[in-house]
Structure 1
Amino acid sequence: MKDKNQISVVKLSDEPATEADETPEFESISQIWRNAIVLSVVFLVLFTAFGPVQDLQSSLFKEGGMGTTVLAILYGAFVISGFLVVTPLINSIGSKWTLVISIVCYITYVAAHFHATWGVFIPAAVMAGMGAAPLWAAKGHYLNTLAHDYAKKKGVSNDAAVNLFFGVFYLFMTSSSVWGNIISSQVLTPSDANYSIAPLSAEELKLCGKAFCPQNTAGNNTNLLRPPESKLYMLAGIYTGCTCIALIIVSTLLQKLPVEMHKSGGLCAKANCKPKLLIAAFLQLKDKRQLLLIPITIHTGLQHAFFGSDYTQAFITCSFGNWWVGYAIICYGTAGAICSLLFGKLVQFVGRIPFFTLAAAVNVTLITIYLSTDITPDNIYRYLIYAAIWGMGDSTWRTQTLSLYGVIFRDNSEAAFSNSMLWKSMGYITAFAYQSRLCFSIKAYILLANLGLGMIGYFTVEYIEYRKCRAAYKFGTAKERKKDVQLSFMAYVDLP
Structure 2
Amino acid sequence: MLCFVLFDDIIELNYWIHYRAHLVYAFVWGNLISSFIFQNDGTNTTVKVNGEICGPNFCPQLGYNSTNIFEPPKHQIYIFTGACCGLSILAILLMAFFITDINGQKTSGRVWSLVKQVSLLLCTSRSQHLLMFPTLLSGLTEGFLYGDFTQAYVSCSYGIKDVGFAMIAFGIAQSAGSIIFGKLNQYTGHMVIYIFGCMIQTGLYITMLYWTPISSQQYVIYILGAMIGIGGSINLLIVSALYNLYFSKKKIVAISSYRMLSSTGIALSFGYSNWLCSRYKLYILLTFVGLSCISLTVQHIRYKRKQRDKSN
Tell me if TM exceeds 0.5: yes
Which is worse superposed, 309-318 or 368-377?
Answer: 368-377
Q: How far apart, in 1, do the equivalents of 2:225 and 2:119 lie?
A: 36
Structure 1 residues 274, 206: closer, same or farther in 2, change over 3 A? closer
Contact 2:8 2:255 in 1 (8 A): no
Q: 1:181 aligns with which of 13, 31, 38?
A: 31
Contact 1:217 1:224 in 2 (8 A): no
Query: 1:12-27 alignment to 2 at 5 Å?
Result: none
1:200 partner SS: coil
Amino acid of the structure 1 residue aligned with 2:110? C
Q: How far apart, in 1, do the equivalents of 2:88 and 2:248 lie?
A: 34
Amino acid of the structure 1 residue aligned with 2:232? D
Tell me the CA shift for residue 464 of structure 1: 0.9
TM-score using structure 2 length: 0.93
Q: How far apart, in 1, do the equivalents of 2:252 and 2:228 lie?
A: 30
Q: Does 1:363 align with 2:213?
A: no
User: Structure 2 stretches of 5 or more lacking a match?
Assistant: none
Q: How far apart, in 1, do the equivalents of 2:193 and 2:85 lie?
A: 36
User: Structure 1 stretches of 5 or more lacking a match?
Assistant: 1-81, 83-132, 148-161, 476-496
Query: 1:378 is matched with which residue?
Result: 216
Q: Percent identity?
A: 25
Structure 1 residues 279, 139: closer, same or farther in 2, change over 3 A? closer
User: 1:279-326 deviations in whole A, cap 9, x for unaligned?
Assistant: 111211311111111111100100111122211111111110011010
Q: How far apart, in 2, do the equivalents of 1:246 and 1:453 lie?
A: 39
Tell me the CA shift for residue 198 of structure 1: 2.7
Q: Does 1:140 align with 2:19?
A: no
Q: 2:279 aligns with which of 441, 447, 467?
A: 441
Q: 1:196 aligns with which of 41, 44, 62?
A: 44
Amino acid of the structure 2 residue aligned with 1:346? L
Structure 1 residues 275, 423: closer, same or farther in 2, change over 3 A? closer
Q: How far apart, in 2, do the equivalents of 1:358 and 1:244 lie?
A: 41
Q: Does 1:387 align with 2:255?
A: no
Q: 1:415 aligns with which of 253, 273, 280?
A: 253
Query: 1:249 is matched with which residue?
Result: 94
Amino acid of the structure 1 residue aligned with 2:44? S
Q: 1:171 aligns with which of 7, 21, 27?
A: 21
Tell me the CA shift for residue 255 of structure 1: 4.7
Structure 1 residues 247, 274: closer, same or farther in 2, change over 3 A? closer
Tell me the CA shift for residue 361 of structure 1: 1.2
Q: Does 1:207 align with 2:57?
A: no
Tell me the CA shift for residue 275 of structure 1: 4.9
User: 1:369-394 deviations in whole A, cap 9, x for unaligned?
Assistant: 11122222112112201111111111
Structure 1 residues 436, 140: closer, same or farther in 2, change over 3 A? same
Amino acid of the structure 1 residue aligned with 2:306? K
Q: How far apart, in 2, do the equivalents of 1:299 and 1:305 lie?
A: 10
Tell me the CA shift for residue 340 of structure 1: 1.5
2:44 partner SS: coil
2:65 partner SS: coil
Q: How many residues align?
A: 311
Tell me the CA shift for residue 170 of structure 1: 1.4
Query: Higher relative contact order at CA 8 Å, sep ≥6: structure 1 or structure 2?
Result: 2
Q: Does 1:289 align with 2:127?
A: yes
Q: How far apart, in 2, do the equivalents of 1:401 and 1:177 lie?
A: 22
1:205 partner SS: coil
User: 1:14-37 deviations in whole A, cap 9, x for unaligned?
Assistant: xxxxxxxxxxxxxxxxxxxxxxxx
Contact 1:176 1:333 in 2 (8 A): no
Tell me the CA shift for residue 334 of structure 1: 0.6
Contact 2:8 2:252 in 1 (8 A): no
Contact 1:211 1:441 in 2 (8 A): yes
1:411 partner SS: coil
Q: Does 1:404 align with 2:242?
A: yes
Contact 2:244 2:251 in 1 (8 A): yes
Larger Cα-atom Rg: 1
Structure 1 residues 394, 174: closer, same or farther in 2, change over 3 A? farther
Contact 1:182 1:327 in 2 (8 A): yes
Query: 1:279 is matched with which residue?
Result: 116
Query: 2:180 is matched with which residue?
Result: 342
TM-score using structure 1 length: 0.59
Q: How far apart, in 1, do the equivalents of 2:269 and 2:112 lie?
A: 31
Q: Does 1:451 align with 2:289?
A: yes
Q: How far apart, in 2, do the equivalents of 1:407 and 1:445 lie?
A: 31
